[in-house]
C-alpha cells in the first residue's frame, strides 16, 4: 500500500464548530506532516511529527491542534476557525524525517 488517505474529502464548517481532519498511511513511514495550500499558492508546512512526537510547529495558530495517535494516523483538530482558514489541507508522510514526502489527496475546507 503506497497511499496516503485523507478524510473527509470536503468539509464546510461554521466559525463556532469543532471538526477534525484525518490522515492515514500504511507505508511504515515514521514522519507525518500537515500542509495548508491556498489557491494558486504552494503548499505551506504547518506541523511535522517524527516518531509520533511533534517536532516542528510553524507558528500555527492554536485553533489548529494536531494529534498523532500512532505512527499510521494523523489528525488535525479544528476549532473556532476563520473564513481565511479556508484552504486545501494536505497530509504527507516520509520515511524518517527526510524527503521525499508523499502526499494525500487533501481535504477541501470551507469556513463560513
Partner 1 sequence: DQQVKQNSPSLSVQEGRISILNCDYTNSMFDYFLWYKKYPAEGPTFLISISSIKDKNEDGRFTVFLNKSAKHLSLHIVPSQPGDSAVYFCAASANAGKSTFGDGTTLTVKP
State the residues that interact with partner 1 by CB under 8 A: 4, 6, 31, 33, 40-45, 48, 50, 55-56, 90, 92, 94, 96-106, 108
Nearest distance, CB of residue 6 and partner 1, angstroms: 8
Residue closer to partner 1 (CB basis): 45 or 73 = 45
Give the other-Cβ count within 10 Å of 85's Cβ: 19
Smallest gap from Cβ 42 to partner 1, in A, equals 4
What's the grid cell of residue 58?
Answer: 510553524
**Contact yes or no for 69/53 (Cβ under 8 A):** no
How many Å apart are CA 27 and CA 33, to the nearest integer? Answer: 14
- Give residue for cell 503548499: 43
Closer residue to partner 1, CB minimum distance, 48 or 81? 48
Looking at the Cβ atoms of 38 and 77, the one nearer to partner 1 is 38
Amino acid at each position: 500500500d503506497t497511499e496516503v488517505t485523507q478524510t473527509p474529502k470536503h468539509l464546510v464548517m461554521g466559525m463556532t464548530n469543532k471538526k477534525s481532519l484525518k490522515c492515514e498511511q500504511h507505508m511504515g513511514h515514521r514522519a507525518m506532516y500537515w500542509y495548508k495550500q491556498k489557491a494558486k499558492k504552494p503548499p505551506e508546512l504547518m506541523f511535522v511529527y517524527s516518531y509520533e512526537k511533534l517536532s516542528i510547529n510553524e507558528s500555527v495558530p492554536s485553533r489548529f491542534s494536531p494529534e498523532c495517535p500512532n505512527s499510521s494516523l494523523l489528525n488535525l483538530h479544528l476549532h473556532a476557525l476563520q473564513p481565511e482558514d479556508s484552504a486545501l489541507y494536505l497530509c504527507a508522510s516520509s520515511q524518517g524525517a527526510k524527503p521525499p514526502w508523499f502526499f494525500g489527496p487533501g481535504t477541501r475546507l470551507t469556513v463560513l
